[in-house]
Amino acid sequence: MSLEMFVQNLANGITLGSLYALIAIGYTMVYGILRLINFAHADLLMVAGYAALFGIGIFALPWWLAFLLAVVITTLLGVSIEKVAYRPLRTAPRISVLISAIGISYLLENLGIVLLGARPKSFPRPEELVWNIQIGNISFLSLTFIIPIVTILLLIAVMLVVNKTKFGIAMRAVSKDFETASLMAVDVNKIVSSTFAVGSALAAVGGIMWSMQYPQVDPLMGVFPGIKCFIAAVLGGIGSVPGAMIGGFILGMGEVMLVGFMPELSGYRDAFAFLLLILVLLFRPGGILGENEVEKV
């Protein structure tokens, strides 16, 4: 492999890794607090993608306004999903909540197919954000730099919120022990709602950037990123925000490099993530940064 090819792959890996990381943070926050794989999380990518597409394409809004509205709409949707489909099941067995999440995920996907058509639509990239950068023989898309920067800024913001604010303390308390936290005058429902809001907003940003990087949207676009980002979250240690970041990068980089170095294995690209997941679950169930759970007596 030539140096140019390697640098190109490296850039692609970082971009994909950042996108995975951003979405994985949402998973890890929700899982940390509710112990729930929010299957619908990934479909919020699709909702944000379409909302931005319609904002720019149909309502001819400036791109920043369209993106902002897309984030707001997606956040509202994420919070309402929690209210309608997860909150009534708070005391139910975990299987019920998981099934509800799967149901909501399919509902969003199929509603997307019914309302928007199954065919992919091309996504209008705002010219202000997407241009080519030439370095030596290699040409990069500006997004190669924008996406990791946005991801890292958002990660820092989330870390600050989780570690420094009162809301963050409450959130960590709820994720440690639901009942005790509520006894300590923490409004659990409000904290859960806010967590969903933050997670959904991150998914929305991820979805918009995903649509710009691979400039098309379709109703099923969230399916594979969704599963992979959950894997990234498990990889890094579920419940840990920096872990999600690391997991996302490992997964994105690994996938791109697997295809880059061993093109004959490209058919197995999607299997790579699952294999990684199963290995992690078997040998280090807590993930890379996860706490080694010690049974309390």
Partner 1 sequence: MDSRKNIKRVLTIATLLLAAVVLYFGNEHLTRFQARILNLSAIFVILGASMNLVIGFTGMFSLGHAGFMCIGAYTAAILTMSPESKEMIYFMEPIIPALANIHWPIIPAILAAGAVAAFFGILIGFPALRLRDDYLAIATLGFAEILRIIVTNTISITNGALGLKNIPSVKELWVYWGCAIITILVLRALINSSWGYAFKAIRDNEIAAEAMGISIFKHKLMSFGIGAFFAGVAGALMAFLITSIDPTMFRFLFTFQILLIVVVGGMGSLTGSVIAGVVVTVAMEWLRFVETDMNILGMEIPGIPGMRMVIFSILLVLVVLFYRQGLMGTREFNWDWLLDKLGAGKKDKGGKLGERA
Smallest distance, Å, CB 266 to partner 1? Answer: 10
Smallest distance, Å, CB 162 to partner 1? Answer: 22
Smallest distance, Å, CB 246 to partner 1? Answer: 19
Give 57 or 286: the residue with its C-beta nearer to partner 1: 286
Instruction: Report the half-sphere exposure of 202 (CA within 13 A, side-chain side).
Output: 32
Smallest distance, Å, CB 244 to partner 1? Answer: 15
Give 98 or 130: the residue with its C-beta nearer to partner 1: 98
Smallest distance, Å, CB 34 to partner 1? Answer: 11
Smallest distance, Å, CB 184 to partner 1? Answer: 27
196-198-204 Cα angle (round to 5): 95
Burial class (CB in 10 A: 0-12, 13-18, 19+), 136: exposed
Give 66 or 276: the residue with its C-beta nearer to partner 1: 276
Give 147 or 273: the residue with its C-beta nearer to partner 1: 273
Smallest distance, Å, CB 29 to partner 1? Answer: 16
SS (H, E, C) the chain: CCHHHHHHHHHHHHHHHHHHHHHHHHHHHHHHHHCCCCCCHHHHHHHHHHHHHHHHHCCCCCHHHHHHHHHHHHHHHHHHHHHHHHHHHCCCCHHHHHHHHHHHHHHHHHHHHHHHCCCCEECCCCCCCCCEEEECCEEEECHHHHHHHHHHHHHHHHHHHHHHCHHHHHHHHHHHCHHHHHHCCCCHHHHHHHHHHHHHHHHHHHHHHHHHHCCEECCCCCHHHHHHHHHHHHHHCCCCHHHHHHHHHHHHHHHHHHHHHCHHHHHHHHHHHHHHHHHHHHHCCCCCCCCCCCCCC
Smallest distance, Å, CB 71 to partner 1? Answer: 25
Bridge partner residues of 217 (DSSP):
121
Give 106 or 261: the residue with its C-beta nearer to partner 1: 106
List interacting residues with partner 1 (CB under 8 A).
35-37, 85, 88-89, 92, 94-96, 98-100, 102-104, 106-107, 110-111, 113-114, 118, 227, 230-231, 234, 267-268, 270-271, 273-275, 277-278, 281-282, 285
Give 104 or 205: the residue with its C-beta nearer to partner 1: 104
Give 11 or 256: the residue with its C-beta nearer to partner 1: 256
Give 36 or 217: the residue with its C-beta nearer to partner 1: 36
